[in-house]
Amino acid sequence: MWLSTTGSSALGQPSTNTARSEDSFRHPPTHRDYRRIRRPTRALPSRLLGGRSPRTRTKNRVDFAALRVPKHTIKKHAPRETTNVPTPPSPSEELLEKYKNAVSEGFDPKKHLKKIGVANQTTMYKKETQAIGKLLEKAMIQAYGPEHAAENFAAFDTICDATQVRQDAITEMSDPESAAALDFVLVVGGWDSSNTAHLLEIPIAAGMTGYHINEASCIAADGTITHRTVEGEVVTTTDFLPLDRPARIGVTSGASTPDSVVQECLEQLVLLKSLSGEE
């Protein structure tokens, strides 16, 4: 059986990760995140923060950034009854309605989108963040001119380095030439881990077969594998491992998945192959 690994040490090599569980990483934004956001935001009335809602880190980062500037308030006045013809909503009203659960109190698009900054949940895709940043930067250039781009737009690098290394590796593994040589990709990590879920999305989007498991027991002696899909469902697949020939498997793991868990999963695959008489 041939294995290609990313994001974890190979069998027989000493582990470089500490044996920390996925739950140990569920905490408010790291000091690293705060440090990168703190100083530049003093000059920015608005920030765009990326992340899947609801996520503790992203929400706390919104709360933290909101503390750096005075509160925005909007006075409400009773509407005058001047006509019975309904007035179509303005672009600002449409924006507020669409993102009513994702903006800070008192946010006014007309006032607070003159200068913006972009930060991201640490486990999101770096390429997606860059694409969103470029889109917003282009909008600011169109609105205020290229000479004012540096004054009106700022992007903050809040992507976790370990996460980015794994995303880059699995992306390389998913290119057509590499993908053609693999039977499937095995992603090891907590089922409620955002960064691990993203690692599965990359090969699936490339048309590959992938399985996201959280522990070795997901691989059963009867030749089945219990795994989480990109839609979030936990399903069981039969005959996932070729037993009549050598198998080629790409392996990666979440940023906080202990190497010992990855090794146990690999050992389970090897055991399953040995029971069939194949190597």
Question: Tens digit of pLDDT for each residue in 37-65?
Answer: 555 555 555 555 555 555 555 555 445 44
In the 8-state DSSP scheme, what is residue 45?
A: S
Pick the CATH number of 2-19+162-275 from 3.40.1010.20, 3.40.640.10, 3.40.50.720, 3.40.190.10: 3.40.1010.20
- Give CA–CA dist 6/223, Å, rounded: 24
| Sign of the Cα pseudo-torsion (182, 185, 186, 187, in order) | positive
Question: Tens digit of pLDDT for each residue in 167-207?
Answer: 889 999 999 989 999 999 999 999 998 889 989 999 999 99
Contact 114, 45 (CB under 8 A): yes
pTM of the model: 0.55
With a cut of 90, say whether residue 249 has pLDDT above it.
yes
Distances (CA, A) of 88 to 91, 93, 132, 273: 9, 10, 29, 65
Question: What's the pLDDT band for 111 if we cut at 50, 70, 90?
Answer: confident
Cβ contacts of residue 212 below 8 Å, gap of 6+?
A: 187, 188, 189, 191, 196, 197, 199, 200, 227, 228, 229
Which carries the bigger pLDDT value, residue 198 or residue 11? 198
Contact 122, 159 (CB under 8 A): yes
> Can you read off the two tokens belonging to residue 71?
């509160």
Lowest-pLDDT range of 13-17, 143-147, 148-152 = 13-17
Positions of CATH 3.40.1010.20 in the chain = 2-19+162-275
